[in-house]
A = this chain, B = another copy of it.
């Protein structure tokens, strides 16, 4: 790499990135565990002002970490989120699943006249008790999740609700943060979100939180 002389050591790239984020982002309102998650999310999107749009319940980071340590599955709305999760970081060999391409999803979507993203959430129910949910793409999946919880579905341990975009994203995240149904949550208010934010939050939880085993 003679021409450019960039930093090539992965550990050094991480260390320097996290130092820049700590210096530039306003992280004062977060506890140590949540801060680990927010730093990793900022790292994934390159925007330190993401911190200002984070809405998080006080117990989120420790509850989600405890769930992963207890072997909880991670349920993702799209394959990009699943493939962004670093499986080797998982503390208990946790399952990381996306059911969007399950053959039953098309039938449910046609029956309920909804998106495949929302339809798959019906298939989560049987493993949702105590799970960590990571929604990085589809507002319709987050709406459906809240609806199923209201209808008595098993409660997840934590919801990472960061769908992105122009139709339903803002509203679905407002529905979560205004009434999280007693479930721990982290959301990014506004239009911003995305699969990289969802998987980076999972990776922070899986890799171990600052100030916590």
Name A's B-contacting residues (CB within 8 A): 1-4, 6-10, 13, 16-17, 20-21, 43-47, 79-80, 82-84, 112-116, 118, 139-140, 143-144, 146-147, 150, 164-169, 171-172, 175, 190-196, 199
B16 touches A46 (CB 8 A): no
Q: How far is the CA of A142 from the CA of B191 in the complex (A)?
A: 29
Q: A13-B140, A13-B167, A16-B166 are in contact. List 20 more A-B contacts (CB 8 A).
A: A1-B114, A1-B118, A1-B143, A6-B143, A6-B168, A6-B172, A10-B116, A45-B164, A45-B192, A46-B192, A46-B193, A47-B192, A79-B83, A80-B84, A80-B195, A80-B196, A80-B199, A164-B196, A195-B196, A196-B196
A19 to chain B, nearest CB (A): 9
- Top 3 nearest A-B pairs (CB, nearest first) are A46-B191, A17-B166, A8-B114
A46-B165, A46-B166, A194-B45 as given contacts; A4 in contact with B171, CB under 8 Å: yes
User: What are the residues of chain B within 8 A of A44 when measuring CB–CB?
Assistant: 164, 194
* Complex A-B: 28 CB contacts under 8 Å: A1-B114, A1-B144, A1-B147, A3-B146, A4-B143, A4-B171, A6-B143, A6-B168, A7-B168, A13-B115, A13-B140, A13-B167, A13-B168, A16-B166, A16-B167, A17-B166, A44-B164, A44-B194, A45-B164, A46-B191, A46-B192, A46-B194, A47-B191, A80-B80, A80-B84, A80-B195, A80-B199, A195-B195
Integer count of this chain's copies in the complex: 2
A4 to chain B, nearest CB (A): 5
**Contact of A196 (CB < 8 Å), options: B115, B147, B171, B194:** B194
Interface of A is mostly: helix
User: What are the residues of chain B within 8 A of A168 when measuring CB–CB?
Assistant: 6-7, 13
A38 to chain B, nearest CB (A): 14
Closest B residue, CB atoms, query A7: B167
